[in-house]
């Protein structure tokens, strides 16, 4: 009788061992399948958190170079704050604080071409309480494998804004034929951001209001000028000493502008042009040429 019980126990142990081996093989197969999927299927992750600019500066965390200005009419990429490669301020004038900073990352093994992220924006008039909804596509750049892209978000309206990201992102097909939809993975802070009411604030002026930069008291005024493509900008030296307007990229150079003289330059291509004075390198300015 004891021998029968012993044989049953051995059979039971063998069955358990067989089941464990089968489960192990199943998990191994699953992980192998996931590894293969990463080779073929993008894994796009979005992380967002409320903007804490002062805390980031204290921790020596650099600001994103790009900011998305969100409006009922759509989204527009702008530059807010930050410094140039030589450490000089890009925007000497006061600008609104972005309400969030985000990072989109490609965890896959294949490069991603241009991406569109459908996003629902809600704008509520604080006076009337009337809300309007609009769906826009956030135009995000392509990413190589394991690469990431940082950007900030700014409420460009006079209303209280709410934001909700779709969990699907559209990626340009590698063969160039249209777009394919892929799942978007988000971290725990994204739903928190989506529940947050973003208060209105005055957005930076994006409609050109002037085409002249005054050089006064060893500074370019305004420090940042936004003009449409094709605009001719006039630089007037109102100081008692000579200055230059020299592009950091080397795209243009005024040469010496003596006191009381002026120099003009036509900006034929859209882009962001940083410049400084060769005689006084601490003098820095920026021209943003809009399409």
User: pLDDT tens-digit profile of 93-116?
Assistant: 345 778 999 999 998 888 888 889
**Position 210 pLDDT exceeds 80:** no
C-alpha–C-alpha distance, residues 289 and 175, integer Å? 33
Give the model confidence (pLDDT) of 129-156 as tens digits: 899 999 998 888 888 888 899 999 989 8
Residue with tokens 């894994």, as numbered in its chain: 43
CA distances from 78 to 75, 137, 224 (A): 10, 16, 12
Closest to 192 in 3D by CA, of 46, 44, 45, 48 = 48
Q: Is residue 19 part of a domain?
A: no
Q: Indicate whether 104 and 172 sit together in one domain.
A: yes
Q: Is residue 266 part of a domain?
A: yes
Bridge pairing between strands 74-78 and 44-50: unpaired
| Final residue in a domain of this structure, among 134, 159, 194 | 194
Q: Indicate whether 80 and 155 sit together in one domain.
A: yes
Q: Is residue 1 part of a domain?
A: no
At 261 the pLDDT is 93
- Decide: pTM greater than 0.95: no
Q: Indicate whether 168 and 239 sit together in one domain.
A: no
Q: Indicate whether 227 and 149 sit together in one domain.
A: no
| Final residue in a domain of this structure, among 194, 226, 252 | 194
Q: Considering only 62-66, 77-81, 124-128, 165-169, which range has the smallest mean pLDDT?
A: 77-81
Q: Which residues contact 245 (CB under 8 A, 6 or more apart)?
A: 213, 220, 235, 252, 253, 254, 257, 263, 265, 275, 277, 285
C-alpha–C-alpha distance, residues 62 and 90, integer Å? 14
Q: Domain range spanning residue 126? A: 44-194
Give the model confidence (pLDDT) of 244-290 as tens digits: 999 998 999 999 999 999 999 999 988 889 999 999 988 999 998 88
State the alpha helices, DSSP H only, in the chain.
2-40, 53-58, 189-194
> Which domain CATH number covers 269?
2.60.40.420
- At residue 25 the predicted structure's pLDDT band, cuts being 50, 70 and 90, is low
- Full DSSP string of 102-171: EEEEE-SSS-B--EEEEEEEEEE-TTT--EEEEEEEEEE--B-TT-EEEEEEEE-SSSEEEEEE-SEEEE
Q: Is residue 223 part of a domain?
A: yes
Closest to 140 in 3D by CA, of 129, 151, 132, 130 = 151
State CA 38 to chain mean position distance.
25
Closest to 273 in 3D by CA, of 251, 242, 254, 240 = 251
Q: Is residue 224 part of a domain?
A: yes
- At residue 92 the predicted structure's pLDDT band, cuts being 50, 70 and 90, is very low
Number of domains in the chain: 2
Rg (CA), the chain: 28
Q: Indicate whether 61 and 189 sit together in one domain.
A: yes
Q: Indicate whether 62 and 159 sit together in one domain.
A: yes
Q: Indicate whether 258 and 185 sit together in one domain.
A: no
Q: Is residue 228 part of a domain?
A: yes
Q: Indicate whether 254 and 218 sit together in one domain.
A: yes
Count of CA atoms in the C-beta half-sphere (13 A) of 121? 24
Q: Is residue 163 part of a domain?
A: yes
Tokens representing 224?
Answer: 């940042």
Q: Is residue 123 part of a domain?
A: yes
Q: Indicate whether 101 and 216 sit together in one domain.
A: no
Q: Indicate whether 100 and 127 sit together in one domain.
A: yes
Q: Indicate whether 126 and 69 sit together in one domain.
A: yes
Q: Indicate whether 223 and 156 sit together in one domain.
A: no
| Final residue in a domain of this structure, among 194, 220, 245 | 194
Closest to 229 in 3D by CA, of 211, 244, 203 = 211
């Amino acid at each position: 009788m004891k021998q029968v019980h012993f044989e049953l126990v051995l059979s039971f142990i063998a069955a358990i061992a067989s089941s464990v081996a089968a489960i192990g093989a199943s998990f191994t197969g699953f992980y192998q399948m996931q590894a293969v999927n990463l080779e073929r299927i993008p894994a796009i992750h979005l992380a967002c958190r409320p903007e804490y600019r002062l805390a980031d500066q204290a921790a020596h965390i650099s600001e994103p170079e790009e900011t998305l200005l969100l409006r009922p009419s759509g989204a527009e990429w702008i530059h807010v704050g930050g410094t140039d490669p030589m450490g000089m301020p890009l925007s000497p004038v006061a600008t609104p604080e972005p309400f969030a900073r985000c990072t989109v990352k490609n965890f896959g093994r294949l490069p991603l071409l241009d991406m569109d992220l459908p996003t629902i924006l809600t704008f509520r008039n604080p006076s009337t309480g009337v809300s309007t909804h609009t769906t826009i596509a956030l135009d995000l750049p392509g990413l190589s494998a394991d690469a990431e892209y940082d950007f900030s978000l700014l409420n460009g309206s006079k209303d209280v804004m709410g934001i909700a990201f779709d969990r699907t992102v559209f990626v340009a097909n590698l063969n160039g034929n249209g777009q394919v939809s892929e799942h978007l993975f988000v971290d725990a802070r994204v739903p928190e951001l989506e529940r947050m009411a973003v208060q209105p604030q005055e957005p930076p002026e994006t409609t050109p209001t002037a085409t002249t930069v005054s050089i006064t008291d060893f500074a370019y005024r305004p420090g940042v000028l936004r003009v449409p493509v094709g605009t001719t900008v006039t630089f007037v030296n109102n100081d008692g000493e000579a200055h230059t307007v020299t592009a950091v990229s080397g795209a243009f150079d005024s040469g010496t502008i003596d006191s009381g003289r002026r120099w003009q330059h036509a900006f034929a291509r859209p882009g962001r042009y940083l410049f400084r004075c060769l005689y006084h390198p601490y003098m820095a300015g920026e021209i943003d040429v809009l399409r």
